[in-house]
Structure 1
Amino acid sequence: MRDKFKVKSQETFEDFKISTSKRIFDIVFSVFAIAILTPVWLLAMIFIKLESRGPVFYVARRVGTGYDIFDFYKLRSMYLGSDEKRAELSELNQYLIDQYKSGKSFSKHDKCTDCERLGKPCSPILHIDGVKICENQYLKRKRDQTNSITFFKIKNDPRLTKTGKIIRNFNIDEIPQFVNVIKGDMSIVGNRPLPLYEAEKLTDDQWALRFLAPAGITGLWQVRQNTTPKLSSESRKSLDNQYVLNSSFWGDIKLILKTIPAIFKSQRS
């Protein structure tokens, strides 16, 4: 039995069950994909092993349907210990950078309530993009901005190995997830399963809806990301909810067909 991610007491999720037709399709598609992609899979494993120390497979806990937690499989694309470096690289989060570029940043020199309470003038004063701001206020806003971003993505991630960059560009590292599909952890199409640190930010009524869909290898967000690379964190969450409300078997087939061209593009979600 899978573990359950702890959410607020008022939020309850009945066990989600996919339709029989979708489940049969998932199994047949996954078996066929593994059979076809095995040579690519084996070649990637050899290069991973030759380039850097560590296991060939990356196994991590992910939150899927109904907040179920399961072991998520990928080919390892990063150096060992990369997960522990995530906090150090938070300033490089592409979602945070895009939010800053969109203008949702520092616009004026508000009074710093902390300095005001102490009866002291703001010091030191920083000049950020032509705006004067108290260092204390600046650090507080930066912290709030970071905490408000749900997802984590780095462009040109320094933690990637050379082989890792290649297999990520062509989504080869995702091949082991067909095993997750056969096991019943995931579906071919659905909302991406999330790391625990991302899922814990999506437990309110507005965004918890996304967990009523199966966890998927591909989905509406990935397809939309291919045509609109700079989707915001809010847009991604909205697309996940949209999939839950409008999903269908034939809709899934369309998403799969739209996903195939994206596999051969270097732009990675």
Structure 2
Amino acid sequence: MKSEVTICARVRWLQWVPYILVLGDMAALWAAFYLGRLSHAFYYHVDPGWVLLHWWGSHAQINQLLFLVLSTLGIMAFAVKGHYSRRKAFWDETGEMLGVFILLLALNAAIAFSGKWQLSRLWLFSTWVLVLGLLPMTRWLLRVTLLRLGAWVRPVVVIGCGQNAAEAIRALNSEPMLGYSVQRVLVPGGCSPAAGSFPTHAPIEALGEDPLATLARLGKPHVVLALDMDQWEAQERLVRSLGIGYPNLTIAPPLRGLPLFGMEVMHFFSHEVLMLRVRDNLARLGPRVTKRLFDLVAALLLVVILSPLLFYIAWRIRMGDGGHALYAQERIGRNGKPFGCLKFRSMVTDADARLVEYFCVHPELKGEYERTFKLKNDPRITSIGEFLRKTSLDELPQLFNVLRGEMSLVGPRPVTAKELQKYYGDVGELYKLVHPGISGLWQVSGRSNTTYTERVYLDSWYIKNWTLWYDIVILLRTVKVVLRRDGAY
């Protein structure tokens, strides 16, 4: 009885959540509009407290009307994209939010500079800068609050018994702000999952002969149907039953190896046929040009901003042992062309001889080096070199590789010809389609703690699913990983 009351209370809360999210966005937008007036205070040397405590009356009517129209359009755009009715992964929602923001800013600029109305451009543009910070922060705070109250938590049941179900659980667990909580794993008849095959502490039980009755007993939770490819035909009756009689259903099809981002769904009238149109972005000229322009502009800005740090590091290395500050390792680039991958020297000048001596004393560590090409306590690394590696500052000279067109800011890990031949297999041809990157998915997913097989998988996923927004996300996450020094040695 108590569980039924809890379920009913949660359902009532969930019904109000979309309205709470809308009100939160409206509050963030209008708070940004109100605080945007501070730019006038700073620009005209007026007391900020006086500005905030005194409304401007008729002088602000045009600004109010314009911002009201633009903010209403923004709320409508978020509603159409499902920000209030559907739950989305954090970075996907943030990317859509940024796209709406850019559109509204462009409309604001077009109206502000048309010259037809007397309005404060400084106020309006300051408002949109504040919106860019306040809107995501307000959403995050609201969802954290709702999670703590239990109003944002949505029970999820995963149906499956193989790798696809395990991957679906990992994906849900990786996005805690979605609020999806895996309560059970239901195993269809005829399946027997291996012990410890699911990355969850949730109970694992049989789905039973009547799936709808089982789900009704569990309170009609949200269901993720994650069958493996070889199970779809055997479970056709289950799929049909859930598809017709269960409204809270998400299907996780076992589609590995395909470019998932931007995939278009094709439906055919009166036919039970679903076709997926694949779009490989980096195979097209437009996206490649966009990526190259982004690399050039961003790398040039970074070189200018970081030039004092670059000179200082070079000076410290030279002062250490008198050797060269930079060195170039041969790596394989786009179209299989070798290039010199630049780094600040972090090893002693007789590194090769030191490594041979080290393996003579510690032969058991040779296997680790051959698997990962790294050692956790590498005897060749200098004192300044250890700091450079832990902070990834040794890779800053690769900005010049980017400017020379040999690398990208984000891409697959630059590898040697030996690594490419030994570990990449068929993925090697995919690797050669793009420039290797200073950072990449492998770096923000565990760095040196990932296995080589995982690195190859992450590289191939990135190439097949590239978007400019994903590059920006990876760069932002790289900063976080470097500051925390996760997995670096």
TM-score for the superposition, normalised by structure 1: 0.67
**Contact 2:421/2:428, CA 8 A, preserved across alignment:** no
Judging changes above 3 Å, is the alpha-carbon distance between structure 1 residues 66 and 32 closer, same or farther for their aligned structure 2 residues? Answer: same
Cα 1:84/1:31, change in 2 over 3 Å: farther
Q: 1:80 to 1:43 in 2, by over 3 A?
A: same
RMSD between aligned residues? 2.5
Distance 1:65 1:207 in 2: 11
Equivalence for 2:313: 44
1:165 pairs with one of 374, 377, 386? 386
Deviation at 1:263, TM superposition (A): 1.9
Q: What's the offset of the Cα at 1:211?
A: 2.8
Judge conservation of contact 1:64–1:192 (CA < 8 Å) in 2: no
- In the aligned structure 2, how far is the partner of 1:69 from the partner of 1:264? 31
* 1: CA distance, partners of 2:339 / 2:354: 23
Q: Give how far 1:197 is off.
A: 2.8
- Of 191-200 and 246-255, deviating more is 191-200
Q: Choose which of 188, 192, 201 in structure 1 pairs with 2:413.
A: 192
Give 4+ residue runs of structure 1 displaced > 6 Å after superposition.
15-18
Question: 2:253 maps to which residue?
Answer: none
Q: 1:16 to 1:86 in 2, by over 3 A?
A: farther
The equivalent residue for 1:142 is none
2:485 equivalent to 1:236: no
Within the candidate set 55, 67, 70, 2:339 is matched to 70
Alpha-carbon distance in structure 2 between the residues aligned to 1:252 and 1:83: 35
Pick from 363, 375, 386: which aligns with 1:154? 375
Cα contact 1:190–1:215 (8 A) shared by 2? yes
State the partner residue of 1:24.
Answer: 293
Q: Percent sequence identity over matched residues?
A: 33
Which residue of structure 1 aligns with residue 476 of structure 2? 257
Which amino acid in structure 1 is aligned with residue 453 of structure 2? E
| Worse overlay, 63-72 or 156-165 | 63-72
Deviates most, 15-24 or 177-186: 15-24
Q: 1:123-162 residue pairs with structure 2 within 5 A?
A: 149=371, 151-162=372-383
Q: Is the alpha carbon distance of 1:59 and 1:29 closer, same or farther for their aligned partners in structure 2, counting shifts above 3 Å?
A: same
Cα distance in 2 for residues equivalent to 1:158 and 1:37? 29
Residues 190 and 243, structure 1, Cα contact 8 Å, conserved in 2: yes
For 1:205, which of 426, 446, 455 is the aligned residue? Answer: 426
Separation of aligned partners in 2, 1:49 and 1:252: 34
Aligned length: 201
For structure 2, the residue ranges without an aligned partner over 5 or more in a row are: 1-282
TM-superposed CA distance for 1:210, in Å, is 2.7
CA contact (8 A) 1:16 1:214 kept: no
Corresponding residue for 2:266? none
Instruction: Judge conservation of contact 1:53–1:80 (CA < 8 Å) in 2.
Output: no
- Partner deviation per Cα, 1:41-95 (whole Å, 9 max, x = no partner): 11111110111232111112111222210111111110113246556648436xx
2:355–2:379 contact (8 Å) kept in structure 1: no
Inter-partner Cα distance in structure 2 for 1:207 and 1:19 = 19
Counterparts of 2:329 and 2:352, CA distance in 1: 10
Structure 2: distance between partners of 1:38 and 1:44: 10
* Letter of the structure 2 residue corresponding to residue 162 of structure 1: S
Q: Deviations over 1:131-167 (max 9, x none)?
A: xxxxxxxxxxxxxxx5xx3x41111211100010111
Question: How far apart are the structure 1 equivalents of 2:309 and 2:458?
Answer: 31
Q: 1:190 touches 1:218 (CA, 8 Å); kept in 2?
A: yes
Deviation digits for residues 93-119 of structure 1 (CA, Å, limit 9, x no counterpart): 6xx549xxxxxxxxxxxxxxxxxxxxx
Q: Distance in 1 between matches of 2:480 and 2:412?
A: 19
Larger Rg: 2
Unaligned runs of 5+ in 1: 1-14, 99-145
SS at match of 2:323: coil
Show CA shifts across 1:211-262 (max 9, x none): 3232100011111115xx6321211111111111111111111111111112
Aligned position for 1:5 = none
Task: Report if the CA contact (8 A) 1:16-1:65 is conserved.
Answer: no
Measured in 2, the distance between the counterparts of 1:91 and 1:178 equals 37
Residue 59 in structure 1 maps to residue 328 in structure 2: yes
Q: Tell me by how many angstroms 1:16 deviates.
A: 9.5
Q: Return the alpha-carbon distance in structure 2 between the equivalents of residues 16 and 183 of structure 1.
A: 22
Aligned counterpart, 1:12:
none
CA distance in structure 1 between the aligned counterparts of 2:368 and 2:340, rounded to whole angstroms: 30
Determine the C-alpha separation between the residues in 2 that align with 1:206 and 1:61: 20
Q: Is the 8 A contact 2:390 2:485 kept in 1?
A: yes
Larger helix fraction of residues: 2
* Cross-structure match for 2:17: none
SS in 2 for 1:212: coil
Matches within 5 A, 1:106-125: none
Supply the AA of the counterpart residue of 1:70. Answer: F
Residue equivalent to 1:120: none
SS in 2 for 1:78: coil
How far residue 203 of structure 1 moved from its aligned partner, in angstroms, is 5.8
* Corresponding letter in the other structure for 1:81: D
Equivalent in the alignment of 1:176: 397
